Amino acid sequence: MAAKTVHVYRSDGAWQVKKEGKSAKVFSTQRKAVEAAKKSVKKERAGQFVVHGRNGQIREYGTYRMTRIQDPPKKSRMAGQIARAVGKVALERVQSDPSPPSDHSTTK
């Protein structure tokens, strides 16, 4: 089983949790969405989760039973620009996935 990446991001006024190639699950709060993403990664037995802020930039990430994601160099003048670019590309990739959000998974 290949390790999966689970993304948490804001869309249409709600927080979505999305695995690559799967339908998104919708949550009313970011906290609930992050908890669901972490639970999903542990259920898969290996993987990573990435939390995107309202602006799309990666603000939190973690791994379970795989090598930790390396932080970009902090002293580089370009580190902030690189972080924003990576976050934007990752978010656009997940949002452009053809799987529609699932309406039945809305959590209030």
Q: Are 64 and 42 in contact (CB under 8 A)?
A: yes
Reading the block at residue 49, the tokens are 């989760």
- The 10s digit of each residue's pLDDT in 67-104 is 766 665 566 777 777 777 877 778 887 777 766 555 54
Give residue limits of the domains in the chain: 4-105
Q: Both tokens of residue 5?
A: 């990446």
**Region of 94 on the Ramachandran plot (φ > 0 left; ψ -120 to 50 alpha; else beta):** alpha
- The reported pTM is 0.68
pLDDT tens for each residue of 14-40: 999 998 778 889 999 999 999 999 998
